[in-house]
Amino acid sequence: MSQQVADAIRSRRTIHDFVPGSAPPAGVIQAAIEHAAMAPNHYLSRPWRFYLPGPETTERICQLNAALVRSSRGDGIAENKLKRWRQVPGWMVLACVRSDDPIRQREDFAACCCAAQNFMLYLWGQGFGVKWTTGEVTQDPGFYTLLGIDAGREEVVGLFWSGVPASVPERRTPSVAPPVFILP
Ligand SMILES: Cc1cc2nc3c(=O)[nH]c(=O)nc-3n(C[C@H](O)[C@H](O)[C@H](O)COP(=O)(O)O)c2cc1C
């Protein structure tokens, strides 16, 4: 494996804070999506769907999230979230096409997760951080509606924020050896 690939895998962190206005350029996002779509995919079904919300749609996502937070945690926290979400520079939603066959569904979803990692690693290599989030809003029927996703046909894999990291957190997962079972 090239050292660059190993370095990207090792150094990538989930980024929670971005430099304002630092969204990756459209061409970089396009290239990240192309690399995402090179993920392994058992059925060659290309089950991934990439949604790129523009300013109008991102504002609607921010408002929907604030409404959900308001009803569970109150006005103050909702206002803070709204302010914070409006500062997120880059937005992408990844969805996976559903299948009637549960095994294929699981494997297609797995392929989408591989695509997500490719997307994140490509951007990381270009100097951009990503946060993959599956917070409450991403499960909300209103989220599907405002993105134009038919929930019967596709399942949201995650909302991906991107931009230049304002800070890079320390690794949170312990650096202990993973469980490995060597068999005869
Ligand atoms: C499927 C999935 C969903 C995630 N959803 C969230 C989320 O909703 N909020 C969040 O802060 N991080 C989320 N993360 C990021 C993890 O918290 C993060 O990967 C973990 O803390 C390890 O940090 P690292 O990515 O820097 O190694 C998600 C990651 C995955 C794979």
Residue 171 to residue 124: CA distance in whole angstroms = 15
CA of residue 86 to ligand 1 center, whole Å:
20
Task: Verify whether ligand 1 is closer than 6 Å to residue 168 (CB atom).
Answer: no
Residue 98 to residue 108: CA distance in whole angstroms = 8
DSSP string, 73-129: H-HHHHHHHHHHHHT--EEEEEEEE--SSHHHHHHHHHHHHHHHHHHHHHHHHTT-E
| Predicted TM-score (pTM) of this structure | 0.96
Task: Verify whether ligand 1 is closer than 6 Å to residue 60 (CB atom).
Answer: no
Task: Verify whether ligand 1 is closer than 6 Å to residue 4 (CB atom).
Answer: no
> Both tokens of residue 108?
């297609």
Residue 17 to residue 89: CA distance in whole angstroms = 10
CA of residue 183 to ligand 1 center, whole Å:
32
Written as tens digits, the pLDDT of the chain (184 aa) is 589 999 999 999 999 999 999 999 999 999 999 999 999 999 999 999 999 999 999 999 999 999 999 999 999 999 999 999 999 999 999 999 999 999 999 999 999 999 999 999 999 999 999 999 999 999 999 999 999 999 999 999 999 999 999 999 998 777 788 999 999 9
